[in-house]
Structure formats: structure tokens, C-alpha cells
Structure 1
């Protein structure tokens, strides 16, 4: 079975845990960038300006490898034993139901694959070649602070056939009610630089572009991250997710 076909079927089978959020027209990319800018390589985020207009970020499938027990993984540094180019991840959560102001105390789960394109907590057969069922790398949970930011330390995600590079995100309110499942896309020019060096080089360049990715088929403008930095110094990702809370 092709990986894309598997993901299509996975979306249906995960209906009980995926969030039924309407696919509303995306915010303009310049709105996102203007209001979530990095000011230093340590990942400082400016959230003082409220966007003039916004819409709920696209909902997406959790995919075949969601975190099994996310409440047990309240950690900021999710790198574990994985090697790769350092990546600081800053996710800003804003509430469409409150004039797009920031949303503090939002529980934010993320997970992504390693440099070889594989996930922890799964494996051994089929799509996942290596058995990683007993480890939990590149998965974590943080709660947004008073400025609406949830931050993580990780590595730049790898890729696997049929998918463009991405990070999975599941957002809940402070009471644990699910608000949105979505994904974060990456600028292709930066991914190309990362994948040409280090532990990524043996895996090569991603075989799928954002525009031809099946999961991003409904558009990825409001799922595209802003990434700054370098291979030498590491990268900083900033991304705003809009929810109804």
C-alpha cells in the first residue's frame, strides 16, 4: 500500500480523535509573519500586535503515528537521543472567538519524525521500518504561557515518502477539551539546505513538495511556518495557530 493511500485511510479511521473543525479560509501569510516574528536566535516571539483579521487554521489528520499518552510527555526538550540540526519551535495560539487575542494556558502537543523519517512509539512492520515502540523521542507537551507561546527544543524534522516535511500539532484548552488538530509546513528552500548535510544527507532530499502533498491538499498557506537561522547555529521556527476557544 502506498504511504499516501495509507494516510487517506488513516484519516478516516482516526475520526474519533481528529477534530472536526471546518476548513475555513486561511489568514494571509503576511498577517502571520508580521505578528509572530523572531527577534533572536533563542526564539523570542513578539505577540504584542493583534492581527487585523484571522480564521481558524486548517484541521488535518493526526496521521498514523499520534502520541499514545501525551499527558505523560510534558517536556520542553523533546530531542531525546535523536541527532540532527537543532530547531527551536515557538507556537503561538490565538483565539478567533476573542478578537484573535493570544490564548494562554492552551495545552499544546507536538510530534514529528526523525532525520530518517521515522517516529517513536511505532514500528517494526510496513511503513515504519525500525521498531521504536518503547521509546518516545520527538514528542512533547507544553502549555502556552501568558503571551500565548508554547516552546520546544528539537531537531529539524526529516521526511518520508509521500509527505512534505511537517510537524503534527494538537491543541486543547486548559480543561483538556480538544480545539484543533493541525500540521506545520516548512519552507522548501530551508529544508533543501538541511537535507544536504549531516545525518540527513544519506536520506537525501524530500520527494514531495508542499503543493503536491496529499494532506496539504486543502492549502497550506496558514500552516506554513517562518524559519530563520542556519545549519551552523540552528534554526528557529515561529508559527501561529488560530483556534476557536
Structure 2
């Protein structure tokens, strides 16, 4: 089923959206930006009801398991009517999606308030972003808890993977994450190269604010790196710390999605086929709040008299490029407890094409994931190449 909003419905949504309070991290602000955004999302609407129900069910299921049945916040945080008295069993989810398909059409077409809640979960093909210089082709352990002994705010990531060709969650696909620690350092890359210790950030151009990549001098540390296969509902859930920032980059989490991999004796893996490389982000307001907490307030950038990079100032245009085709790369974040220091959980859904094969090439002067994408005949039931 493919749904494209009518012109009158889109116009009504546009008028209402223009009056809503928004932030740049959540998408368009001006009338022109809203027009462009709605136009980009037209091809995504065929999956939107499914993903809305999918995300709501994941939130409810997580709350039931962790909080003894109480929702994370009040019931209004969930889309009205979605998955009441339903669990996250695959067949129940599928049944719920079918039952709510028509309601989902109405929501997406006519209710901009609710539509704004599910934008960052809308099922579109996630844009390919650079893998950056800090990805390790080996020693990313297969594990759910990737925090190790790092200090920082407790942060859980609930990552759903949906096939954009079928709008169905993808089970048993490997989600691979890595990010910086509270003070902006990646495992294995503690110091700049000796001849670049006094390097100043680039003053202009696409690399404005960036330093040269730190070399890998530690081949043992694996903190804040981990990979996990999705469960039967297409979800991989990670425990970590909230990422810190470094000069020139907005706060972000890297992701790769592999649909072919082999487990090694040491608990890590080798990849046989890659279907996505991208990055996730956070609202600037949330970043600023966390900046005040220890140890985030000891970030060495502060001592140097520099400031954090906002989302829309992200070097190499990575944050901007991550919005291609109407995709929203910003985590939908909930508090775990009553206050920020209790920790956070972030939900996001990645739309991938499981029939694709992607070979990334890192370009230090571009935020795009330069590489080759090939279409391969894939058995959708087994996710194996035909």
C-alpha cells in the first residue's frame, strides 16, 4: 500500500505545522522548509503507519520490562490507540499494523501534531554518511553493553531496522555502533599525532572547526564500540554512555548495518556484506543540558576556550546530509527516571535496502559516504544472496 497525501491535506498540515514550536534538530522551521520537507516525505508515507506503531510498541515493551509496566512518561507520549493491551510479539505487531493502517493514513495526512511525533521514525532509506576515521574493521565486540568502564550519563539506544522495500522489521541483521566518550575521545585514538599536537582547527571550508584525525595508537581498548543482531522484531538494544563531542563535530553516534557476518573466536566479527553506514544525532537543547554534567563539563575543548559545534554547523555538512529525502536522524529521547541524571533511552528506526551491497570509502573532505552501492538478488525470507 502506498499513500501520498492529497494537496489539500498537505496544505492543511502545512498551515498547522507553521504554527507549531519547533527546533532545527527536529526538522523544518520556515514555511518553505516545511513545503520541501512534506514533498520529500511523500514517498515515505507508505511505511509511516507501520513505523509509528513499531516505535510505540517498542517504547511500551521497554517500559514494561524495565519500569514494571509504567510508561516512561504519560500516555500522551504514545500515539493514541496504538498497541493498547498489546505486546511486541512479531505476529501481534503485524496484526496491529494492519488494523491501524487506515488510521495511520489519516494521522499522517491530517494531524500534524501527531505526525511531528513520528517524523524521526518515518520509514525512508537512511542516507549514507561517512564512516569517519575511527571505525575499526576488527575488534568490534558482539555485545549489548558497550559502556565498559567509561564514566558518563547512562544512555540506552533502541535501534530498529526496517526494510524499505517491504516496510517490515528485519530480524537477525547486525547493528554495529561506535561513538566518542564523555570528553570526545574514541577507543584506540587517545592522542593527536606528535607533529600535530599544536594544530589549530580549520578556519574555513567544509572542514571548518575540524582537526586532523587522531591516529590509532592503542589496539586494545574497545570501549563504546559494539555490535548486536536484531531480535525477531528487528530491534537491537544497546547500553552505553551518552556521547561527548569534539571540535568541529556535532554530538553523534556512528552506525553500520551488516546483513552478512561471521563471528570470530574472540567474540568480534568480520563483515561479509554491508547495507548501511550512517550517523545519529541529538537535539541541541539536550546536548547543552548534558554539557553541564560531570564529566562532560571537563571536555578539553572548554579549557582551550572553544565551544561545542551545533547540529546545523556540523563540519563536512554531515548533519545536513543525514536529512536527505526527508529522513530524520535525531534520536527520540525519553528520560528513564524523574530527572536527567537517571539516564536516557533513545529510539530510532533505520530504513535499509537489504538487497543492496555497499562498499564504503572514507573521504576526509566529505561527509558523504563515498563508495559503491550494488543491487543484489536477496531472498527476503533468509536474507541470503540468491
TM-score of Structure 1 vs Structure 2, range by shorter chain = 0.7 to 0.9
Match of 1:223 in 2: 329
Larger strand percent = 1
- 8 Å contact kept, 1:158–1:165: yes
- Alignment partner of 1:185 is 2:278: no
5 Å-filtered alignment, 1:116-135, equals 116-126=183-193, 127-128=213-214, 132-135=218-221
- Alignment partner of 1:161 is 2:247: yes
Deviation string 1:125-162 (CA, Å, 9 cap, x unpaired) is 24439954421100001000001100110000000111
Deviation string 1:58-80 (CA, Å, 9 cap, x unpaired) is 1100011012315x501111001
Deviation string 1:44-96 (CA, Å, 9 cap, x unpaired) is 996836587732011100011012315x5011110012100000111000001
- 8 Å contact kept, 2:279–2:322: no
Structure with the bigger RCO (C-alpha within 8 Å, sep 6+) is 1
The structure with the largest alpha-carbon Rg is 2
Instruction: Provide the C-alpha distance between the structure 2 equivalents of 1:124 and 1:118, rounded to a whole number of angstroms.
Output: 9
5 Å-filtered alignment, 1:107-146, equals 107-126=174-193, 127-128=213-214, 132-146=218-232
RMSD: 2.9
TM-score (norm 1): 0.78
Match of 2:237 among 151, 168, 175: 151
Instruction: Provide the C-alpha distance between the structure 1 equivalents of 2:216 and 2:124, rounded to a whole number of angstroms.
Output: 39
Larger helix percent = 2
Aligned in 2, Cα 1:173/1:206: closer, same or farther, shift over 3 Å? farther
- 8 Å contact kept, 1:105–1:174: no
Match of 1:63 in 2: 132
- Alignment partner of 1:105 is 2:214: no
Aligned in 2, Cα 1:139/1:58: closer, same or farther, shift over 3 Å? same
Secondary structure in 2 aligned to 1:201?
helix
Aligned in 2, Cα 1:206/1:240: closer, same or farther, shift over 3 Å? farther
Aligned in 2, Cα 1:84/1:138: closer, same or farther, shift over 3 Å? same
Instruction: Provide the C-alpha distance between the structure 2 equivalents of 1:228 and 1:67, rounded to a whole number of angstroms.
Output: 30
- 8 Å contact kept, 1:33–1:226: no
Secondary structure in 2 aligned to 1:171?
strand
- 8 Å contact kept, 2:153–2:241: yes
- 8 Å contact kept, 1:172–1:180: yes
Match of 1:234 in 2: 343
- 8 Å contact kept, 1:123–1:133: no
Moved more, 200-209 or 102-111: 200-209
Give the gaps of 5 or more residues in structure 1.
1-24
Give the gaps of 5 or more residues in structure 2.
1-39, 73-86, 98-103, 106-121, 194-212, 262-271, 355-386
